């Protein structure tokens, strides 16, 4: 599982930062990508990667501001000619996303050669997508903006060969048969397979925010605590918390302070304003805690 930030900018694109798009690479797990938000430069950014459009089968839209959706119609159209024919695609987003796409396609005369399905999201819902649990939480922004929390399935423990040898079962093809069964029999005795398995490995947990003011309620904290990676916006970086709140955004230092108590392994900040120059950003980066990053375009992180 790998996260790649294809567009890390806020609002207006710049030469250095395109607007929001994030890839959750699940090729090793399910041979597919999840795409979170579709900034207008997405297609250009993909040309600099090995990501195949036809393997983006699920798109999650945090909210309907232009810097998060203006690349969607173009991507959907191009996918039709990039191996996507007959490859279904699902879009999960706020109310209005389906209407906007229908009007856009109607006026532009766009026709897709693959089925696509739009699923409108709401606060508190839980999706099941390719075996992954996706929890949806409404955030605090001038328009409805959402958090997606992706939970990988837990991985069953490995078969304990030493325990099997203790009851007289030698290594061989039978081990695979035992692993696939709930119970098995040997020398007239029935055993529960679970007694011969190591501990379960918890699945990875990834929380990706749309634009939002800082959230502090207990339900929100419960939802993101113990995450392996949290991606959060940081439109304001210079202790401008009042201005951040006024415009419906977050200030990086306040977010870091909140996250200290939530047992989050890695924090990645994105949605960075282009009013901050390179010197300012480098100064901020040098002061970040361990496993805390300010993303640039094409920032990539392997989730271990």
What amino acid positions are annotated as catalytic residues? Answer: 67
Q: What's the CA gap between 268 and 281, in Å, rounded?
A: 14
Q: Which two tokens stand for residue 109?
A: 């005369």
The verdict on whether residue 67 carries a ligand-binding annotation is yes
The verdict on whether residue 63 carries a ligand-binding annotation is yes
The verdict on whether residue 122 carries a ligand-binding annotation is no
Q: Which two tokens stand for residue 244?
A: 């951040």
Q: Which two tokens stand for residue 45?
A: 């950014």
The residue whose two tokens read 């795409």 is 35
Q: 207 burial class (0-12, 13-18, 19+ CB within 10 angstroms)?
A: buried
Closest CA to 166 of 142, 140, 146, 195: 195
The DSSP secondary structure of 264-281, one letter per residue, reads -SEEEEE-B-TTS-HHHH
> Which residues does 162 contact at the CB level (< 8 Å), separation at least 6?
none
The verdict on whether residue 249 carries a ligand-binding annotation is no
The verdict on whether residue 48 carries a ligand-binding annotation is no
The verdict on whether residue 65 carries a ligand-binding annotation is yes
Which residues partner with 272 through β-bridges? 9
The verdict on whether residue 228 carries a ligand-binding annotation is no
What per-residue string of b and e applies to 74-101 under the rule 16 or more CB within 10 Å gives b? bbbbebbeeebeebebbbbbbeebeeeb
DSSP 288: P
Q: What's the CA gap between 288 and 294, in Å, rounded?
A: 9
Annotated binding site for Zn(2+): 63, 65, 67-68, 141, 211, 271
Annotated binding site: 63, 65, 67-68, 141, 211, 271
């Amino acid at each position: 599982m790998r996260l790649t930030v294809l567009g890390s900018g806020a609002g207006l694109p710049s030469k250095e930062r395109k607007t929001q798009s994030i890839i959750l690479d699940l090729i090793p797990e399910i041979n597919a990508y999840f795409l979170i938000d579709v900034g207008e430069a997405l297609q250009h950014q993909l040309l600099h990667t090995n990501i195949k459009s036809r393997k983006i089968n699920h798109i999650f839209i945090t909210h309907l501001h232009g810097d998060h959706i203006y690349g969607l119609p173009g991507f959907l159209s191009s996918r039709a000619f990039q191996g996507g024919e007959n490859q279904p695609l699902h879009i999960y987003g706020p109310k209005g996303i389906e209407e906007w796409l229908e009007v856009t396609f109607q006026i532009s005369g766009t026709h897709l050669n693959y089925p696509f399905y739009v699923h409108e999201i709401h606060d508190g819902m839980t999706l099941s997508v390719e075996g992954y649990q996706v929890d949806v939480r409404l955030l605090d922004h001038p328009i409805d903006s959402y958090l997606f929390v992706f939970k990988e399935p837990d991985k069953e423990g490995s078969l304990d060969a030493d325990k099997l040898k203790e009851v007289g079962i030698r290594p061989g093809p039978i081990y695979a048969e035992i692993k696939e069964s709930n119970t098995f029999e040997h020398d007239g005795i029935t055993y529960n397979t679970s007694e011969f398995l190591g501990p379960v490995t918890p699945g990875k947990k990834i929380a990706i925010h749309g634009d939002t003011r800082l959230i502090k309620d207990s339900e929100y904290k419960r939802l993101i605590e113990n995450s392996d990676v949290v991606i959060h916006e940081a439109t304001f970086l210079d202790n401008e918390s009042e201005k951040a709140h006024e415009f419906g955004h977050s200030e990086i230092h306040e977010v870091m302070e909140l996250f200290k108590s939530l047992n989050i392994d890695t924090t990645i900040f994105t949605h960075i304003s282009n009013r901050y120059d390179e010197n300012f950003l480098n100064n901020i980066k040098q002061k970040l805690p361990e496993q805390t990053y300010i993303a640039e375009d094409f920032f990539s992180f392997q989730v271990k």
